[in-house]
Amino acid sequence: MEHSVRHTILFTAALCVVFSMLVSAVAVGLHDRQLENKRLDRIRNVLGVAGLSEPGENLSREELLARFESGLEAQLVELRSGGIVEGADALGFDQRKAVRDPELSRVAPPNRAKVRRVPHHGLVYLIKEQGQTRGVVVPIEGHGLWSTLYGYLALDIDARTVRGVTFYNHRETPGLGGEVDNPNWKALWPGRLAFNQRFDPVLRVKKGRAGPPETDPYQVDGLSGATITSNGVTNMLEFWLGPSGFGPYLAEFRKREL
Ligand SMILES: Cc1cc2nc3c(=O)[nH]c(=O)nc-3n(C[C@H](O)[C@H](O)[C@H](O)COP(=O)(O)O)c2cc1C
């Protein structure tokens, strides 16, 4: 009896060791692939928001990379001055890592988006057609109800007219705040104006319905039953298009490109 108990314990322990080693080996082995998948997902989102792929279009890895190469140019930007950091490894920049590093970021001024730290740099994408810049994609992030939403806003060459918005990571409730992913809601954004005539970032998600872009350019329909997430989107636009975000860069962009 005693023998069998010891045997069972030893056998279970050995099994645990073997399987934990196996699981670790698989996790380590898949790490690179997970990173690559994240990178491809980011590319897929940037292409979509820039209007360089259709909603639901299923592109292979090679097609994604080819479209990225021909249609987008990554630029590293110094947020405070709005200047471009020439020769930088823009695609290697990781904003989430930067905000955890006190040397690469600073405490954010009080803001409604609940952004705590601002990176010194930001990664933007120029939208190219036949070598000509046609617009720009900037990252946005901020708090909704349950989670931080991470996404992109694409602007036309005037750095004012919206091309599109997308969120690639959030944990809002499906059917409520999760409706930020609804293609019908995202279709309401193109043609709206992110800035007023004085270039204050005024675009907001209102409670209720907005008119068409031609008559109601500064508002987008609210997500019903999800006012907190809707306000979160408004707040993150205000922050990232403002003076602590990409405001200075977009001002320079307008001067340069128009
Ligand atoms: C289980 C549950 C999940 C919810 N998820 C969200 C959400 O993701 N986003 C959100 O803004 N509100 C969510 N709400 C609703 C908020 O608590 C709040 O009532 C709502 O934002 C108010 O919006 P309304 O004025 O459009 O009704 C959730 C509520 C419940 C009970």
SS (H, E, C) the chain: CHHHHHHHHHHHHHHHHHHHHHHHHHHHHHHHHHHHHHHHHHHHHHHHHCCCCCCCCCCCHHHHHHHHHHHEEEEEEECCCCCECCCCCHHHCCHHHHCCCCCCEEECCCCCCCCCEEECEEEEEEEEECCEEEEEEEEEEEECCCCEEEEEEEEECCCCEEEEEEEEECCCCCCCHHHHHCHHHHCCCCCCECECCCCCECCEECCCCCCCCCCCCCEECCCCCCHHHHHHHHHHHHHHCCCCCCHHHHHHHHHHHC
Q: Which of 146, 148, 173, 209 to mutate to test the pocket of ligand 1 (most atoms within 8 A of CB)?
A: 173
What percent of the chain stands above pLDDT 90? 81
* CA of 207, closest atom in ligand 1: 26
> With a 6 A CB cut-off, is 227 part of the ligand 1 pocket?
yes
Residue 238 CA to ligand 1 centre (angstroms): 22
Model confidence pLDDT, tens digit, residues 105-163? 999 999 999 999 999 999 999 999 998 999 999 999 999 999 999 999 999 999 999 99
On the question of pLDDT at 222 being above 70, the answer is: yes
Q: What is the pLDDT of residue 237?
A: 98
Give yes or no for residue 141 CB within 6 A of ligand 1.
no
Nearest protein CA to atom 1 of ligand 1, as residue: 173
Q: Is the CB of 24 under 6 A from ligand 1?
A: no
For all residues of the chain together, what is the average pLDDT? 94
Among the atoms of ligand 1, which is closest to the Cα of residue 229? 11
Is the Cβ atom of 147 under 6 angstroms away from ligand 1?
no
